Structure 1
């Protein structure tokens, strides 16, 4: 029994300095995440998205943003409903879960997304004055989502697509009010 105890103690002694070296300073991550504290809360509103088949689909819904892990992450849950073309019944048109965190080693924010349709993504989130943006690269182009706070504190988000990185076409926009 003592042999086991000493082995465990020896393992613990050598592993603690290693874990201390690989764990980024908590204070740095917390300070960087505080820059996004304004997002915490429930946001409701409406928007539109261009459909592949043509035309715009309008939607209404909620983004719930919560500080998690003592402020080390933000959990973003979105659920939006709209009507299918030619039908009166509302259906869920977009449901998402995302985690925003700060990567101290890379000195950047990470935005990990999970959609109800099974799609996932891991993106760099870049802060800009009054908001942030992230890009999605795809063969032959890219998509850029930009979120900014409006003059009344509303969440205004747009999605734009570009084939060449120079000319952009807006295909999505929503405005949410903090409740």
Structure 2
């Protein structure tokens, strides 16, 4: 019994030491996430996407962005709607993403999910004041990158998406222009 008590006490002490060793991460993460604090709110506008020959597909876009876990995580949900041939409004794009800063790697993490079940672990960089870029590799096809420019004074969000088969030559396939409404 004495041995069991000693073992449990040691495990409890080690657990506490492990938690204390991780304690400094929160302030660093919060500080790094301040660069996207202006994203929080509701953004609405229009976008288009072209995934092959023909006319670009236009949609109305509604982005809802929330700060979670005391500012250490950003939750981004985007819904694009368009009118089909029957005149009905349908969802043509629905994505959810989680943005955070990983202190161990010294990098932002951007995980996105689509309504069809696909997901992506993307890279994310701050490229300037209110300028951001994120993207990912598409196995055996190329690379995709998105560039975001925000004008906080005018409350405008512009985002373009580009594709490259070789990582050098980029073609625009997506654009979204939003205005902050909340």
TM-score, with normalisation over the residues of structure 2? 0.89
Q: Distance in 2 between matches of 1:75 and 1:135?
A: 17
Whether 2:38 is the aligned partner of 1:27: answer: no
Q: Distance in 1 between matches of 2:4 and 2:69?
A: 34
1:45-102 Cα offsets, whole Å, 9 max, x none, are 1011114352211100211000000001001111110123x44222100111111000
Q: Distance in 2 between matches of 1:53 and 1:2?
A: 75
Q: Distance in 1 between matches of 2:106 and 2:114?
A: 26
Q: Distance in 2 between matches of 1:173 and 1:97?
A: 18
1:90-144 Cα offsets, whole Å, 9 max, x none, are 2100111111000011111110111101111111211111221112212131111
Deviates more, 1:4-13 or 1:167-176: 4-13
In the TM superposition, what is the alpha-carbon distance from 1:152 to its structure 2 partner?
Answer: 2.5
Q: Distance in 1 between matches of 2:59 and 2:107?
A: 32
Partner secondary structure for residue 18 of structure 1: helix
Conservation of the 8 A alpha-carbon contact between 2:58 and 2:82: yes
Q: Distance in 1 between matches of 2:2 and 2:38?
A: 53
* Corresponding pairs, count: 178
Q: Distance in 1 between matches of 2:83 and 2:145?
A: 26
Q: Distance in 2 between matches of 1:45 and 1:66?
A: 18
In the other structure, the counterpart of 1:157 is 159
Partner secondary structure for residue 142 of structure 1: strand
Conservation of the 8 A alpha-carbon contact between 1:24 and 1:105: no
In the TM superposition, what is the alpha-carbon distance from 1:11 to its structure 2 partner?
Answer: 1.3
Q: Distance in 2 between matches of 1:24 and 1:32?
A: 13
Equivalent residues in 2 for 1:107-126 (5 A)?
107-126=106-125
Listed as ranges, the gaps of 5+ residues in structure 2 are: none
Q: Distance in 1 between matches of 2:106 and 2:50?
A: 35
Q: Distance in 2 between matches of 1:2 and 1:68?
A: 44
In the other structure, the counterpart of 1:178 is 180
Listed as ranges, the gaps of 5+ residues in structure 1 are: none
In the other structure, the counterpart of 1:97 is 96
